[in-house]
Structure 1
Amino acid sequence: MWFKQISFYPLKNKNGLPDAETLAAKLAEAEFAPVQGLDWFSEGFAAPVPFSPELVFPADFTLGVALKKEEKVLPAGVIRDILEDKVLEIQNAEARNVGRKEKQELKEQITDDLLPRAFTRSSRVQAVFDTKHGYLLINNASSAKAEAMLTKLREALGGLEAALPNTKQNPSSLMTDWLLKGACDGGFELDDMCELKGTGDVVPTVKVSKQDLTADEVVQHVKNGKTVTQLGLVWREQIAFVLTQEFTLKRIQYLDVLQEEAESHGDDAALAFASQVLSAESLSTMIEELVSYLGGWQE
């Protein structure tokens, strides 16, 4: 399970997490069911790996889960066209104008008639409980989707002590310092992209891509008062990623050494096991190193 983007939550009581069997039983009470009738969407837990119907995929110190959402799709243009035809039909048949309130009632009736026959689209968000390091890693950098996963897990488990990552120094400040001095601390190196923002009523934004971040024209933006909101980094020649000011990770790329180690494990199940463990171990260790340079967690 190679996550391409990450929102994460530190777990306050990692030893209090349920085991795989108990977690699966809890999630089964909120298992995904296809959207029905006049409902617009359905959301629930589904199998995190394609080769097994189980709701939890345990791998060493990790527990993989997935939240599936199915939504009905009714294009606004289709409803509008049908509504216009219906209004025209009434006007011609009854020789009167159709008011706004009646149009709204007709629109709702048309929507209800179409909804059971509407197309559906599905999406899936995967997550891993890292019980060794004490993190919930969610494969999405969207705060809304990460919060949706956390909320459903809390409902299923009857509570989950997890909080947003809140460090003593904010990531934007650290990224700005690293860009200004042209080098990072520890196992981190500058990659080739960044985003900087200024201040004011109309916030100026500068995006730099595929460029040497130590170049004078890039560093000058910081000297002119802009702060870094996204920064491309490489960690220990293993992972390339973009760090954001919200402390999410985007555009994660696992470099050859990790990929080769996972692929040496054989069939689909073994490969999934290895990739989930290796990605969780490397990402959590990298996060902990970042936290140390951010001054640690706020109490």
Structure 2
Amino acid sequence: MWFKQLSFYRLADVVDQAALTAALERRPFQPCMGLDWFSEGWVPPAGHLDAPVYAGRGSLLVSLRREDKVLPASVIRDFVDMKVQEIEDKELRKVGRKEKLALKEQLTDDLLPRAFVRSGRTLAYIDNNRQWLMVESATASKAEALVSKLREALPPFPAALPRTQLAPHAAMTDWLAAGEAPGGFELDADAVLRDSSENGAQVRVSRIDLTADEIRQHIATGKHASMLGLIWNEKIRFQLTDSLQLKRIQFLDVLQEEASQAGDDRESLFAATFLLMSEELGELVSALVEALGGLEDSQQHKEAA
């Protein structure tokens, strides 16, 4: 349940639980069959749940499952080569390019139903209190795929990437230059610094004091921060990227112990973990946006009560 990475989107309005549940129930996950290369659909967020939406204190948790057929190009090529050799040996003629392409299509169709399947899921939750969509992915394409499926299920589902007053790379660079981060944030021990010139030189540092002179020297020579390790309120450690994504999220012991005290069975532990995680991540994102000067005017609206 503890998210390890995060992409977040600004929502234009609150999302109704009943409408969302009904919409996702109409689009359940179906296994990848026959000649399909992939399939995706909505599943319950946990094994003990039946519905595709789990609600907890103003947040709605969902899970998108995807299956992909695994059929490497090298395997198809080997089968095509064997078939071409068989035809040439039997019919004593050369197989032309167009015939090879037709053989490739035919053999691909023959192999697809027998291909291995790779499956995975993406968790996300809608924070109706703060009007954020939180997706457990720091891969833009994967996060956007989930948003697209939500738009298909519940159109128009207006969700937009956050646009802050300060660019993340500029703010992170300023924090390093000052040797401290604002608000409840503190510098951790890893960062990536990039040269803005054409050669794009990059310096990656790990397990180092980010207030050291050598870090400020890199900034003085024109490098800017594209990733910065931060700790929020001594509760959550993470890496912030210049695309405003959170990677390598670690919920520190104080939070995990608090969740574990809620009960021993999986239902109560799941509920406690989700409530605690969604509340803390929501506060972290709000604090982070504030540290970046707030949202642009077009994305500001009154938070739900």
TM-score by structure 2 length? 0.95
> Do 1:56 and 1:64's aligned partners in 2 also have CA atoms closer than 8 Å?
yes
Q: Which residue of 2 aligns with 1:190?
A: 187
Gaps of 5+ in 2: 298-305
Alpha-carbon distance in 2 for matches of 1:158, 1:185:
38
Q: Which residue of 2 aligns with 1:120?
A: 117
SS in 1 for 2:160: coil
Q: Which residue of 2 aligns with 1:258?
A: 255
2:68 counterpart of 1:71:
yes
Alpha-carbon distance in 2 for matches of 1:199, 1:23:
44
Q: Which residue of 1 aligns with 2:105?
A: 108
Deviation at 1:27, TM superposition (A): 0.2
2:202 counterpart of 1:208:
no
> Do 1:61 and 1:277's aligned partners in 2 also have CA atoms closer than 8 Å?
no
Match of 2:281 among 271, 274, 283: 283
Alpha-carbon distance in 2 for matches of 1:203, 1:114:
44
Deviation at 1:279, TM superposition (A): 1.1
Whichever residue aligns with residue 284 of structure 1, its letter is G
Alpha-carbon distance in 1 for matches of 2:20, 2:199:
48
Alpha-carbon distance in 1 for matches of 2:112, 2:194:
44
Alpha-carbon distance in 2 for matches of 1:65, 1:109:
38
Alpha-carbon distance in 2 for matches of 1:201, 1:111:
43
Alpha-carbon distance in 2 for matches of 1:252, 1:125:
16
Query: Which segment is superposed worse, 192-201 or 172-181?
Result: 192-201
> Do 1:59 and 1:276's aligned partners in 2 also have CA atoms closer than 8 Å?
yes
2:143 counterpart of 1:146:
yes
Alpha-carbon distance in 1 for matches of 2:196, 2:132:
34
Query: Which segment is superposed worse, 36-45 or 269-278?
Result: 269-278
Deviation at 1:256, TM superposition (A): 1.4
Query: Which segment is superposed worse, 145-154 or 69-78?
Result: 69-78
2:222 counterpart of 1:225:
yes
Whichever residue aligns with residue 294 of structure 2, its letter is G
TM-score by structure 1 length? 0.96
Alpha-carbon distance in 2 for matches of 1:67, 1:215:
43
Q: Which residue of 2 aligns with 1:38?
A: 35
Whichever residue aligns with residue 9 of structure 1, its letter is Y
Alpha-carbon distance in 2 for matches of 1:160, 1:79:
40
Alpha-carbon distance in 1 for matches of 2:123, 2:146:
9
Runs of 4+ residues over 4 Å off in structure 1: none
2:267 counterpart of 1:269:
yes
Q: Which residue of 1 aligns with 2:3?
A: 3
Whichever residue aligns with residue 16 of structure 2, its letter is P
Whichever residue aligns with residue 205 of structure 2, its letter is V
SS in 2 for 1:211: coil
Alpha-carbon distance in 2 for matches of 1:181, 1:108:
60
SS in 2 for 1:194: strand
Deviation at 1:26, TM superposition (A): 0.9
Whichever residue aligns with residue 247 of structure 1, its letter is L
- Taking only aligned residues, the RMSD between alpha carbons, in angstroms, comes to 1.1
The percent of aligned pairs where both chains have the same amino acid is: 49
Deviation at 1:77, TM superposition (A): 2.0
> Do 1:38 and 1:116's aligned partners in 2 also have CA atoms closer than 8 Å?
yes
Whichever residue aligns with residue 146 of structure 1, its letter is A
SS in 2 for 1:64: strand
Deviation at 1:114, TM superposition (A): 0.7
Deviation at 1:134, TM superposition (A): 1.0
Whichever residue aligns with residue 134 of structure 1, its letter is Q
2:18 counterpart of 1:56:
no
> Do 1:62 and 1:276's aligned partners in 2 also have CA atoms closer than 8 Å?
no
SS in 1 for 2:55: strand
Q: Which residue of 2 aligns with 1:181?
A: 178
